[in-house]
Amino acid sequence: MESKFAYLLVADALLVLHVFVIIFVVFGLLSIIIGKLLSWPWVRNPWFRWLHLATISVVVVESWLGMVCPLTTWEMVLREKAGDQVYAGSFITHWLETIYFFSAPGWVFAISYTAFGLLVLVTWFWVRPNPFNRHEGH
């Protein structure tokens, strides 16, 4: 019984992590745009910008290759090990699914993610990230 609970707990944690990744990508882009308009210096942080660009790039590549996100795959495996139906179960699972899983053909997501990724790339040139400074803090 305890192992089933542990599997479900880790599956829910993966679902929450997945939501945070989505929030990072979406609100990261909004922050870059707003930060440019309001002169927020942190939106030019190279670590933030490279991580943001890399994250949406992975999403775009996965969508064009027809891959299921590894976070989703791991979550489903854990739910199956717990004897749970995939995406049925806890309160957290139900509501977080409602927030970010939609019914549409795969090509719709691929095009949407690509358009979003292109917008991220445009902001890369519009709001240039600062270069990495090897002497920072010295």
The per-residue pLDDT string of the chain (138 residues; one tens digit each, 9 = 90 and over) reads 578 889 999 998 998 898 899 899 999 999 999 999 999 999 999 999 999 999 999 999 998 998 888 888 888 899 889 887 665 443 445 555 566 565 566 787 789 889 999 999 999 999 999 999 865 554
The predicted structure's pLDDT at residue 40: 97
* pLDDT of 115: 96
First-to-last C-alpha distance (Å) of the chain:
53
Give one DSSP letter per residue of the chain, joined into a string: -HHHHHHHHHHHHHHHHHHHHHHHHHHHHHHHHHHHHHT-GGGG-HHHHHHHHHHHHHHHHHHHHTPPPHHHHHHHHHHHHTTPPTT-SSHHHHHHHHHH-----HHHHHHHHHHHHHHHHHHHHHSPPPPP-TTTT-
User: What DSSP state is assigned to residue 105?
Assistant: -
pLDDT of amino acid 13: 93
pLDDT of amino acid 120: 97
Q: DSSP assignment, residue 85?
A: P
Is the distance from CB of 119 to CB of 29 less than 8 angstroms?
Answer: yes
How far is it, in rounded angstroms, from Cα 43 to Cα 33? Answer: 9
pLDDT of residue 89: 41
Q: Is 95 helix (H, G, I), strand (E, B) or coil?
A: helix
From residue 9, give the alpha-carbon distance in Å to each of 79, 98, 101: 9, 19, 20
pLDDT value of residue 36:
97
Which pair of tokens denotes residue 65? 């290759």
pLDDT of residue 108: 79
What pLDDT, on the 0 to 100 scale, is given for residue 90? 39
pLDDT of amino acid 88 = 45
